[in-house]
Amino acid sequence: MRSILKAAIENGKKITMNGKVATYIPELAKGDRDALGVCIFDTDCNIILEGDFNTKFTIQSVSKVIILICALIDNGKDVVFSKVGKEPSADPFNSLVKLEMKETHKPSNPFINAGAIVCTSLVAGDNGIEQFSRILDMMKRLSNNSHIEVNYSVYDSEKLTGNTNRAMAYYLKGANIIQKDVEDVLDAYFKCCSVEVVVEDIARIASVIANNGVAPWSNERIIPEDVNRIVKALMMTCGLYDKSGEFCIEVGIPGKSGVGGCIMAVVPNRMGIAVVGPSLDVYGNSIGGGKVLEDLSRELHLSMF
């Protein structure tokens, strides 16, 4: 197992120079392009770490999974899916076109920015501070790490440059899909994206999902079973933006990527995996991380297909 991971990391490092660190948020541009780390946390609580596993990174869009979990627990699936769709979108993550062309104005799914902003607005709490606090608490429980926190430099950077997200949020407010105060919702959303973690944190979150919503370390149920099923299914169809279909073919398990360079992957009933590598392909997915997961899928027979 360890040698497979070592080889996968080595292979992945060969192509990190083909991608680019995210620059649209200035603070992200400081990421180390050539870093590449991986953590596997299985449902028997075995952990393996390899490569640059100490690399700190912000969770970015991987937080969309935890936001969705909170929104579903707090509202039920009927309410959530009355305001956001369940269908993959072949448009870039920050597209407005689809919002306007669909008669309902609903975002296509919870894993594009517009959909995640809607889900954030649905999380329980009287205001953005309470809503973020609820989501952060869920992240802590799912990762069994009470120390994770917002990276405020990244948060400031997100907030300053988040005008396309702001545009989407006001559009959704105008279409009556977001009821709460837009700036407040965005503030919570930007904080979610800016939470700083390491691969072990994300692998543990993935292991809970792999374990049908029950934390392997405590046997405590954190995610209700039907919520957990929905989350896995949506990760399978919509988890890697415009590359979700290819990931489904080449890796074949539910995944979710973020522009901080992380990809979280769930192997049902077996393990959670997290890779980090800030060098991204044109779709915004970690280029080295994707390669590592392809190798692991092949060597460890992870594909569900």
Nearer CB in complex with a second copy: 37/254: 254
The least CB distance from residue 100 to a second copy, in Å, is 5
Nearest-angstrom CA–CA distance, 68 and 119: 6
Q: Which one-letter DSSP state was computed for residue 179?
A: -
Residues 18-77 that bind a second copy (CB under 8 A): none
Q: Is 267 a catalytic residue?
A: no
Instruction: Find the angle CA(217)-CA(116)-CA(249) to the nearest 5 degrees.
Output: 70
Q: Which helix (H) or strand (E) element contains residue 265?
A: strand 262-267
The DSSP string of 41-73 is EETT--EEEEESTT--EE-GGGHHHHHHHHHHH
Catalytic residue among 61, 143, 157, 194: 61
Site for a second copy in 259-288 (CB under 8 A): 268
Q: Is 64 a catalytic residue?
A: yes
Stretch that binds a second copy, among 10-18, 119-127, 140-148, 158-166 (CB under 8 A): 158-166
- The CB-of-171 to a second copy minimum distance in angstroms stands at 4
Which residue from 121, 244, 279, 285 is in contact with a second copy, where contact means CB under 8 A?
Answer: 244
Rounded CA gap, 5 and 143, in Å? 22
Q: Which of 125, 128, 254, 277 binds a second copy (CB under 8 A)?
A: 254
**Which residue in 171, 180, 255, 302 binds a second copy (CB under 8 A)?**
171
Check residue 206 for interaction with a second copy (CB under 8 A).
no
Residue tagged 């991608």 (tokens):
19
Place of tokens 């392909």: 281
Tokens 């929905």 sit on residue: 230
248 binds a second copy (CB under 8 A): yes
Using CB under 8 A as the binding rule, whether residue 180 contacts a second copy is answered as no
Q: By CB under 8 A, what part of segment 221-240 binds a second copy?
A: 229-230, 232-234, 236-238
The residue (of 134 and 173) whose beta carbon lies closer to a second copy is: 173
CA dist 223 and 41 (Å) reads 18
Q: State yes or no: is 61 an active-site residue.
A: yes
Asked about 275 being catalytic, the answer comes back as: no
Scanning 35-43, 68-76, 193-201, 241-249 for contacts with a second copy by CB under 8 A, the matching segment is: 241-249
Q: Which two tokens stand for residue 262?
A: 């992380």
Piece of 57-65, 121-129, 136-144, 156-164 that binds a second copy (CB under 8 A): 156-164
Q: Which is the catalytic residue, given 189, 195, 198, 232? A: 189
Q: Is 193 in the site for a second copy (CB under 8 A)?
A: no
Q: Residue 286 — φ and ψ, nearest 5°?
A: -55, 125
Backbone angles phi, psi at 20, to 5 degrees: -135, 140
Burial of 219 (0-12, 13-18, 19+ CB in 10 A): exposed
Q: Which of 242, 264, 268 is nearest to 255 (CA)?
A: 264
Q: Which of 259, 266, 267, 292 is catalytic?
A: 259
Q: Which of residues 66-125 bind a second copy (CB under 8 A)?
A: 85-91, 95-101, 108-109
* Residue 188 CB-density burial (10 A; 0-12 exposed, 13-18 middle, 19+ buried): buried
E strand or H helix that includes residue 150: strand 149-150
- Known catalytic residues? 61, 64, 189, 241, 259
Binding site for a second copy (CB under 8 A): 85-91, 95-101, 108-109, 161-164, 166-171, 173-174, 182, 229-230, 232-234, 236-238, 242-246, 248-249, 252, 254, 268, 303-305
